[in-house]
Amino acid sequence: MADQNTTDARRYLVFRLENDEYGIEIDKISTIIEKDMDITRVPKQPAFVKGVINLRGEIIPVLSLRLKFGLDDDVYNEDTRIIIIKVDDLSIGLIVDSVAEVVLLDDETTESVSNIAGERPLEYLKGVGKPDGRIITLLDLEKIVMPEEAAT
């Protein structure tokens, strides 16, 4: 049975926005870069779309997770990172306050969305990780980056 637990376990990159910890599956991450690149603003985009960067010849849109989640705008410092993720064939940068660590979560240390009650829609939430008494909000990247606003 120990083998089954290790095969069901997934690795998540843990990052912070304000005082909260979030996790995304490590296999969706291409790279993590420091926020020392210039972001070129793109006109007529939602506020959470900060613009685009040129990373090794690839133009990548960059989103502010703080603004996407209704938090205050980003304050850049030496801990600020841009996590480059790959969803389908699309690369997207996510600005986060800091990157913490990689954790291994399995069925014992996670709760599904259906077990979490709340008033706010849980559209971006995949579940919650509970390693060592901490709470890590596990994000559904496809729902975060797919442009539902494009229909407006």
Domain ranges within the chain, ordered by starting residue: 2-146
pLDDT at 125: 85
Q: Which of 87, 78, 79, 80 is nearest to 60 (CA)?
A: 87
pLDDT surpasses 70 at 149: no
Q: How confident is the model at residue 116 (pLDDT cuts 50, 70, 90)?
A: low
Higher-confidence position of 149 and 41: 41
pLDDT (0 to 100) of residue 5: 44
- The pLDDT of residue 138 is 92
CA–chain centroid gap for 60, Å, is 15
- In terms of CATH architecture, what is 2-146? Beta Barrel (2.40)
Which letter does DSSP use for residue 145 in this model?
H
Residue 17: Cβ-neighbour burial (10 angstroms; 0-12, 13-18, 19+): buried
Mean pLDDT (the chain) is: 84
Confidence of residue 147 (pLDDT cuts 50, 70, 90): low
Name residues whose C-beta falls within 8 Å of residue 111's C-beta, 6 or more positions apart in sequence.
127, 128, 130
Stronger pLDDT, 115 or 51, i.e. the higher one: 51
Q: Beta partners for 60?
A: 53
The answer to whether the CB of 139 falls within 8 A of the CB of 23 is: yes
